């Protein structure tokens, strides 16, 4: 019998939760805890509106995102990403687990 693939090599969110009004918490399958500020999260939106598809240049200018920015809803996309709906109407960003993990480590 063949060995099975180790699909757990890259960690996944075990629990996604709200810490306070401006902080998203993620508990990862490997035990790490991430705390991410929601404004940072919005500024780092990886979608094609916010990052130029060809040059990779960030289109969100500093100070453009107001302090009042809040998510309205978060949900999973398949097994690999999280979609965030924002109170400014933006919802096209799919944050892959890998990307979120990187954001959490920066903090």
Partner 1 sequence: MTDQALENKIIEALKTVMDPDLHKNIVSLGFVKNIKIDSGKVSFDVELTTPACPVKEQLKRECEEKVGTIDGVNAVEVNMTAQVRASEHNQPILTGVKNIIAVASGKGGVGKSTVSTNLAIALSQTGAKVGIMDADIYGPSIPKMLGIPITPPKSSTENRFFPHENHGMKVVSAAFLTKEGQPLMLRGPMLGGIIQQFLTNVEWGDLDYLVIDLPPGTGDVQLTLTQRAPLSGGVIVTTPQEVSLIDAEKGVKMFQQVKVPVLGVVENMSYFIPPDAPDKKYFIFKQGGGKKLAEQFDAPFLGEIPIEGEVVEGGDSGMPVTLSHPDSAASKAYKALAGQVAAQISINQAKSEKSDASFELAWKS
Contact flag: residue 60 with partner 1 (CB under 8 A): no
Residue from 77, 88, 106, 107 touching partner 1 (CB under 8 A): that is 77
Strand 94-96 and strand 13-20: pairing? unpaired
Return the sign of the alpha-carbon dihedral for residues 65, 68, 70, 72: negative
Give the dihedral of Cα atoms 48, 49, 50, 52; nearest 10 deg.
60
CB of 18 to partner 1, least distance (A): 6
Contact flag: residue 72 with partner 1 (CB under 8 A): yes
Q: Which part of the chain contacts partner 1 (CB under 8 A), choosing from 11-19, 43-51, 54-62, 99-107? A: 11-19
């Amino acid at each position: 019998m063949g060995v099975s693939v180790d699909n757990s090599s890259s960690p996944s969110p075990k629990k996604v939760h709200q810490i306070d009004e401006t902080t998203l918490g993620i508990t990862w399958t490997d035990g790490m805890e991430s705390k991410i500020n929601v404004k940072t999260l919005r500024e780092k939106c990886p979608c094609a509106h916010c990052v130029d598809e060809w040059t990779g240049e960030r289109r969100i200018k500093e100070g453009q995102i107001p302090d009042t920015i809040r998510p309205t809803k978060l949900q999973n996309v398949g097994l690999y990403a999280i979609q965030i709906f924002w109170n400014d109407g933006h919802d096209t960003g799919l944050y892959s687990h890998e990307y979120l993990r990187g954001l959490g480590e920066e903090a």
